Chains A and B, each alone.
Chain A
Amino acid sequence: MLTSFVRSGQKVILRIEDILNKVFSSEQNLLYYHGAMPNFCMWMLFLSGLLLFAYYTPTLEAAYQSVEYITNKLPYGDVIRGIHRYAADAMLLTVILHALRVYFTDRYREYRLIAWYSGVALSVFMLIIGVSGYILVWDERSFIIVTKITDFLGSLPFIGSSLASAFLNGEVISNYTMSMSFFLHTGTSFALLVLLWVHYMRISRPVVNVTWAIGSLISGIILLFAGLFPAISGPEAKFTVEPSYFDIDWFYLWLFPLIDAVGNIGAWLVLIAGITLVTLLPNFVRNHDKEPASVSKDHCVGCRLCSIDCPYEAIYMAPRNDGSKYKEIAVVIDDRCAECGLCVGACNFDAIELPNYKSPQVMDDIRIALQS
């Protein structure tokens, strides 16, 4: 059942892509840059965040005023703030698109496990960055978020109270809380880069850049939203007034309605179950028996073409000491091999073959077919 569900999802995606190819050509097909689009949004966030960083003050007294200063006084400050706000939404949307596409096109398991696991971790990090970003503004919403997160963390058995005081950076909300939120926001952002390095591991030549046209389109949409719906703060947070209501950003703040609905422990269970389920998705499908490419010592001339072409960095060249006149030999790392045969296509010497699709056999098949 799962397989047929995935297959029909794939058909839908392929039909959409076919239409996009006809409209935009395959060079400018948005769906062919599903991984590069979140990356583009991330760099927009880094750049706009850097500009905000220059004027932001992470203290209880000054935070709200500094954000107001950026928004109202600084030339184009409101634009930069709007870009930072909507690029975050765009990043989440494109990440969801990316995840759905790799899931439905069956490109998330076996030799792609590292990318899937690191992708889940990246998404969790994005949630932390998003929520902590809403604290920095220090309006009434920020105040509610801080109190709710403190309760949420504190509700965990054994480690709860330590986590809560680590988040508050003390026992009460103070300037140190703001420092911690600022750290969670920017520090975790830089951790994204490390995780991205893991995400790209074992992928030769990952597509990390969008085209100029797609980049302009995404920037244009973000700018349009920043202009039409400017990012503004609510009333400043005051310890004397307990706010009871705030606007929910369904991209990053969905955790709070969830807590209201099922309680702190319930929300923890939902969160942990959700992350576990997504992480374990590759385990719900049985992997086929591995039959990696194999190299023939007698035929390999050490030309390197297969190791260059391998899209999963599964082939490396090793020095050769067996008396052969060639200096190097290709070596296949079995676990990384996707059994795609790209190395076979690159080899002119019958030196690397898939056990199930040996190239002399394919050529025989061609001859037999044409003579029948």
Chain B
Amino acid sequence: MLARALLAIVLVLPVQANAKSDLVEQGRQVFLASNCQTCHTDSDNGGLPLAGGRELRSEFGTYYSPNISPDRETGIGNWSDEDFIRAMREGIAPDGRYYYPSFPFTSYTKMRRADMLALKAYLFSLPPVKNQNRDHDLPLYMRIVPSAKIWNMRYFEPGEFKTDAGQSDEWNRGAYLSQAMGHCAECHTPRKGLGIMIEDKRYAGVQELDGEAVPNITPHGRTGIGRWSIDDLVYFFQSGVTLSGDVTGGKMAGIVDDSLSQLPVSDQRAMAVYLKSLTPVDNEIRKKKKKRKKEEWE
């Protein structure tokens, strides 16, 4: 009897260990595709991975990304599965506070529950880093009213990604990766007052976002990626080299390095297929000029 029980334990344990490492590996893929690293690491100032503190400037103030390492005191080490799901799906922290949409829960809400839990398992497998979160630096009018809560309740609709049966598996995978994980639209879509995305210009580029122009990634011939082939897009995801032979820099360089280039080719291709299927939007993003120093003095 005892021998049998022991045998059962011996047989079951490795299976559980494997199941756990499979989950962590699945979570690592979600982590890479969702590009958590770039914003949650203050790499410009030598910050440790996922310890937060990176400055995110916007017209609605300056945000500092929080610590998402599994440190119990300053990170998310004490979060339950449900805490994690609520943050990702609904944009609400375990203490009931609402997140500002600088955290793209507006995209992550589309993630499947299993992927969220895998992501949590991966994050919890990483070393905890002690680093106190820094308060956002927001204008007075946003601090005196519960602006994040109002925004969330008024403009945000939580909900998981729905497969489109009329499209191929590859397209659906690409749509899921782009919408729920890679959250491309968050930067590539222009917004109107209060940060609401302009729906008919989704993915059509932004003239200026934190000092950078963000290109139109709809397949419009002259102003977007219409001339790019699927292979050209895959190559860009792998290398950062554009159709003209230029090499991307700024924020997109980090996204290529930390996320896109790390994905399996099948996922890179799926995202390219999805982007090429978007409705082309004619929206030219023009280069801006830096002011001549003399002009600034005058």
**Chains A and B belong together in one complex:** no
B interface residue numbers (CB < 8 A to A): none
A interface residue numbers (CB < 8 A to B): none
